[in-house]
A and B are shown apart, each in its own frame.
Chain A
Amino acid sequence: MDIQSICVMGGTGKTGEPEKVERFELNMGDIISIVGPTGCGKTTLINDIELFANRNTPSNRLVMINGEPISEDFTFDPRKHPIALISQHTNFLSDLPVGEFLKIHAKVRGGDNPEQMIGETLEFANQLTGEAIITTTGMTELSGGQTRSLLIADAVIIGNSPIILLDEIENAGIHRSRALELLKQFKKIFVFVTHDPHIALLSDYRIIMKNGSMEKLICTNPAERKVAGELGKIDNLMLNFRTYIRSGQEISEKMMAEQMETLKLTN
């Protein structure tokens, strides 16, 4: 199935009231963030998308692909499943080395050049991690951040899924702004569940969740995009300090002053 758009029609929140956001539609290349306090139903919303909810989940939402609902009987060829969900608790459990796992996955997905796909996947993943992933490492030996990086890279390159759902990737200790930058090069639909203001403002849209319900849909305006740029600098400042600390340096006030200078922010 060739996916051009996905549309979510609102259902009901935890109170049974209809959702204020009646529908939203995403086209290829769109990035949307789902925000709100914990327990407000963010993960439920992406689960509904993953399941192609057809008024058959507790939220009563309807998810349509290219303007059509997906019937309950319809099953995608699992090798061509259009949605990859990278959840908060997704971990690798397979007892295979990274290289072999990727090779089988590339074979399953039927790419023309598996070796190249594996190379690209590792290159992508290694831009997000601290220490590089090596092909002979066992999947289960990867750290949390390496695991999340490899999952994202695999979903984008080998899986080539048109719709990618990412649940709180900021918790994984990976370079998240870099992740978003890299992801933006691919013309896919990305849905982020996030508590990170920088990711939220780099998205094209954001949905504010409250009490299990889609409360508000905001299209990122030009002023917000500027703010996103500034937040990116603060993000980088934090990353620079992380690098100092990781590399065993002692932190001085001078370092802080230099960093603040690059921010060009007035206190």
Chain B
Amino acid sequence: MGALEAVILTIITASTPLLLAAIGELVVERSGVLNLGVEGMMVMGAVCGFAVSYSTGSPYLGVLAAIAAGVFMSLLFGFLTLTLVANQVATGLALTLLGLGLSGLIGESFVGLPGVKLTALAIPGLSQIPFIGPILFGQDILVYASFALVAAVSYVMFKTRTGLIIRAIGDNHTSAHALGYGVIPVRYACVMFGGACAGLSGGYLSLAYTPQWIENMTGGRGWIALALVVFSTWLPKRVAIGAYLFGAVWIMGLYVQAAGVGIPSQFLSSLPYLVTIVALVIISGNKTLSRVNTPACIGQSFVPDR
């Protein structure tokens, strides 16, 4: 295996959790809901995925548990913001605080235990292709899922009626409601999809990236995923590009650190967060780029009149 190939493989592992969480949040935001609780759903996915896979020995059951945990958390968010029309920003923060606390409590007895690693599923034949093979076809199931999700979200959002309805609700919920679309049910569905993706992303961290449970192991990835959605200007393909760029920055920091260059490790560790800020500034500074695709109703509550 060549050096470049190895680097690309590690970049993909670092990018996948960002990509999974961001593609879910993109759908949520396209429907006009801002769920800032990605970090909380993600960390719950990580702990539940680990706990179930450790107890049953099956990483696939762990993946399912991670998804379930993410969906459960997202339903809490949905109930508060969609049914009780609570402030979305505040509720998202609450979701993150609750998720970080609850995961710490649940995961306490699992700290330091060896996890069950999700093994790679090489696709026979295709994975033998030099260079491209191991990168595209020698991954674990969650990496394939991330590829598939980007393609699926991109297709559904822009080529189907469902996508049109979601975007209509995100851009003008009053008109969409007047046309007879169920604003609240559609938003519930999108929020749950976002929760499932965030949970899956957390599961990837505790089952594939580093198969163990460490408190707060998401390390701000949920927030970076949120920034990625802004960075992508709400376009799925750009989410993928952004996620791989961020993954590359993350890995670059590790490589420079390992090379023993005289830069303090703390500076390299803070690089992803600084890059996020720079990326946000560049995209937000460009008004045409950021305004065109921003869902017009994002963050606004909707109460249907009867």
> Do A and B make up one complex?
no
- Residue ranges of A at the interface with B (Cβ–Cβ < 8 Å): none
